[in-house]
Structure 1
């Protein structure tokens, strides 16, 4: 028999996928019930509303990003190598991002009306990425104020690349964005 937390996690994972592929507004609790195999009436045992589910999805974004950054940090001590590993990990999802867009950005946009707390929580993902990039650039000798600006530019490049590649249905656009990120972060600007 499935434990309570297992069903809760299944519902969150199912909701995350449906919100990403179909959109938050058009995904119903009935859709989530059908896709998860959890009866519709049982969803309310775990979540009082779709907005609560959105918060659970936002928590997944943050947890997965924290796990990825911890894995990168443990893999190598060199800041430029860490940044290269980050780009490689982000590039692993290229195909799905071209097909559906960025689930984090979509979540932030879509959750904002019904669940502003979930939108804010999802946005923490970008803060984590910017903070990590900024710290690693700082460790490589770049001034903190410059490192922060470069980190924001890198995340903007990534997100813009996703948006344009998704809109044009052209993976080459996102590949180009990753190359620009690598030049910006790994080759890096001159040290200050």
Structure 2
């Protein structure tokens, strides 16, 4: 899941929200372990001392970043829900992913890379992020079900797995066209399922 305008979202928000959005962005770009609280404060344009008023630990910033991912997913779903037909919603989701291919080439999928990093820890934050991704998976499943597909769950997993896989490959090979080509294939696949 991606969002092409993190800076615009950060600029119009309060300090806590700016810090959460900045944490999501900086963790995506640098990874959790390499990111300092000062990096996040700088990205959010918040004095370092103010960060500790809102977040006492880096793990609390990770949790806030997960919340930012949840808000982004909710915004994406709300925008897609404005479309009339479930197949068009799914194709628009794929087009949104493809539109973010340069970001994926540089850093991978924001949620996917964070999930991979958090999986190496034993603090439960990985499960919180899994809930965010489970929400998107459920929405995708509902779209396939609305298309009359009895295998909606399997199709939803296949679509999300295709996106995560192509994000990884595009990042590994630094090739945005891989993602564009897979996006076109996924749109044809969605059309074929009616």
Q: TM-score range by the shorter chain?
A: 0.7 to 0.9
Distance 1:45-1:114 versus aligned 2 partners, 3 A rule: farther
The root-mean-square deviation of aligned C-alpha atoms, in Å, is 1.8
Q: Measure, in 1, the Cα distance between the counterparts of 2:165 and 2:97.
A: 14
Q: Distance in 1 between matches of 2:99 and 2:123?
A: 29
Tell me, yes or no, if structure 1 residue 149 matches structure 2 residue 157. Answer: no
**Secondary structure at 2:35 match in 1:** coil
Aligned twin of 2:117: 110
CA drift at 1:115:
7.2
Given the two structures, how large is their TM-score scaled by the length of structure 2?
0.85
Residue 132 to residue 35, structure 1, CA distance change in 2 (3 Å): closer
Deviation, 1:113, is: 5.0
Match of 2:171 among 166, 171, 177: 166
Residue 135 (structure 2) pairs with residue 128 (structure 1): yes
Task: Give the match's secondary structure for 2:81.
Answer: helix
Alpha-carbon distance between aligned partners in 1 of 2:45 and 2:140, rounded to the nearest angstrom:
40
SS across alignment from 1:45: helix
- Bigger mean CA offset, 159-168 vs 6-15: 6-15
What are structure 2's unaligned runs of at least 5 residues?
Answer: 1-12
State the distance in 1 between where 2:93 and 2:65 align: 22
Q: Which runs of 5+ in 1 are unaligned?
A: none
| Conserved 8 A contact 2:137-2:160 | yes
For 2:178 and 2:88, the matched residues in 1 are separated by 24
Alpha-carbon shift at residue 186 of structure 1 (Å): 2.8
Number of aligned positions between the proteins = 182
Matched position secondary structure for 1:82: helix
**Superposition map of 1:1-192 within 5 A:** 6-76=14-84, 78-113=85-120, 116-143=123-150, 146-188=151-193
Cα gap change, 1:135 to 1:34, in 2 (>3 Å): closer
* Deviation of 1:70 (Å): 1.8
Taking structure 1 as the reference length, the TM-score comes to 0.86
Tell which structure's C-alpha radius of gyration is larger.
Answer: 1
Taking a change above 3 Å as real, the CA distance of residues 186 and 116 of structure 1, as seen in their structure-2 partners, is: farther
Q: Are the equivalent residues in 2 in contact too, given 1:55–1:115 (CA < 8 A)?
A: no
